[in-house]
A = this chain, B = another copy of it.
Amino acid sequence: MASQPETDLETVMHALGRAARQAQRVLATTPRERKDHALRTAAAELRARRHHIIAVNSEDLADAQQRGLSKAMLDRLMLDEKRIEAIARGLEEIAELPDPVGSELARWQRPNGLDIARVRVPLGVIGIIFESRPNVTADAGALCLKAGNAAILRGGSESFRSSTAILSALHAGLDAAGLPRAAIQMVPTTDRAAVGHLLRMSEFVDVIVPRGGKSLIERVYAESRIPVLAHLEGNCHTYLHESADLDMAVAVTLNAKLRRTGICGATETLLCDRAAARRLLPPVLDALIRRGCEIRGCPETCALEPRAKPASEEDWYTEYLDAILAVKVVAGLDEAIEHIERYGSHHTDAIIAEDREAAETFLARVDSAIVMHNASTQFADGGEFGMGAEIGIATGRLHARGPVGVEQLTTFKYVVRGSGQCRPG
């Protein structure tokens, strides 16, 4: 089975893993000053090297253009002075965050005098698989470092040169702080088989964080032998309860759908109570259509808004990431919750309602990472939550749910302090 290059690749990947484990043990007890010093130095190095980074990025861009990458992909790949400055500032902001490591989550005394503390510790080694955005190298590497984790990064082949240049700046920061370069490593090959190895080396990697499109996430979920923190889709809903205020319904729906259509917190389906459909839907849909949004509606929606196209069953499942909205009239709260359970992706779902009891029922019963009352689903973001930078949003149920920031990249251990206690019995 194992052809020679395959074996070599496995050797390379395992060496990365072993180095990451060793580095992680150093990072676990590194005081915050040194981690922050590494981050701030890396920011300065990024600024100092910006001309070089832009130069190698233009090589990546030229190759990508030749290979016929889409305009959207090329835009994600592109780095200029403004974007490099934003990356550098991002590193400084992560340095400003409190250090989660070592904080006591709880501490109590037992009747026998044992003192028990639950203390935050780093998660370990984090494997990050991403596509074309080279800034993920810095953002994800820095978040992992701040939380005391070692990172193994695997970027898209189209951004290989740009990511490598950014990684050099991070390494200069680690050098300056006397920290091992293996704290942030990049898979040194664009061979796609490397991803397969990364997803299977559970002895070296504690968690996988994929960042990218649905096909990448699907592959990671299917192949990974290591727990994954991710969301496959953000098929988010905004539900207009019959008690909704009209002005709020218009403003919040417009924002939830159209502020940015390409983010995972964008609303993809609008639900509206039948009892208020005549009052709410025509003005809400008119405002959307006037701003260029396509409406795909259920028969009742189409009857109220002739410019709507009929929705198919497939539409209720679809994350458009575009100026398209599926719209359905429902009998009430129960049907709305059932619809979200059946078609949704457990990411972010909102109710617009003046009736607080209905809102609390919705918040309690909708089983999503984020549930909202009278707010735009576009707030689904770690920064907007005040949690600082995030590595992504997780919709799985274990460990981290919702925005995955520095705190969510930690675990804990129990520290028990005694004075010679023995267990009776």
| Shortest distance between the CB of A218 and any CB in chain B (Å) | 13
**What residues of chain B lie closer than 8 Å to A368, measured between beta carbons?**
413
A363 within 8 A of B: yes
A83 within 8 A of B: no
| Shortest distance between the CB of A264 and any CB in chain B (Å) | 13
For chain A residues 340-381, which have a beta carbon within 8 Å of chain B?
Answer: 341, 359, 363-365, 367-376, 378-379
| Shortest distance between the CB of A98 and any CB in chain B (Å) | 14
Are A411 and B397 CB-contacts (below 8 A) given A251-B420, A374-B418?
yes
Which one of A71-79, A116-124, A130-138, A310-318 is at the interface? A116-124
CA distance A207 to B398 in the complex (A): 8
A399 touches B399 (CB 8 A): yes
Please give the count of copies of this chain that the complex contains. Answer: 2
A251-294 Cβ-contact flags toward B at 8 Å (1 or 0): 11011000100000000000000000000000000000000000
For chain A residues 392-425, which have a beta carbon within 8 Å of chain B?
Answer: 397-399, 401-402, 411-423, 425
**Contact size range, A:** 35 or more
B110 touches A397 (CB 8 A): no
| Shortest distance between the CB of A133 and any CB in chain B (Å) | 19
CA distance A114 to B416 in the complex (A): 38
A163-184 Cβ-contact flags toward B at 8 Å (1 or 0): 0000000000000000000000
Which residue in chain B gives the minimum CB-CB distance to A423?
B378
A28 within 8 A of B: yes
Most chain B CB neighbours (cut-off 10 Å) among A102, A379, A397, A417 = A397
Given B123, B248, B254, which contacts A397 in the complex, CB threshold below 8 Å?
B123
| Shortest distance between the CB of A412 and any CB in chain B (Å) | 6
A251 touches B422 (CB 8 A): yes
Which residue in chain B gives the minimum CB-CB distance to A265?
B423
A370 touches B417 (CB 8 A): no
Given B245, B369, B399, B418, which contacts A375 in the complex, CB threshold below 8 Å?
B418
Most chain B CB neighbours (cut-off 10 Å) among A251, A415, A425 = A415
Most chain B CB neighbours (cut-off 10 Å) among A341, A373, A414 = A414
Which residue in chain B gives the minimum CB-CB distance to A375?
B418
**What residues of chain B lie closer than 8 Å to A121, measured between beta carbons?**
367
A25 within 8 A of B: yes
B419 touches A413 (CB 8 A): no
B114 touches A423 (CB 8 A): no
A420 touches B374 (CB 8 A): yes
Most chain B CB neighbours (cut-off 10 Å) among A124, A255, A413, A425 = A413
Are A411 and B422 CB-contacts (below 8 A) given A114-B379, A116-B386?
no
| Shortest distance between the CB of A174 and any CB in chain B (Å) | 20
A residues with a Cβ closer than 8 A to B are 25, 28-29, 102, 108, 110, 114, 116, 121, 123-124, 206-207, 227, 245, 247-248, 251-252, 254-255, 259, 341, 359, 363-365, 367-376, 378-379, 384-386, 397-399, 401-402, 411-423, 425
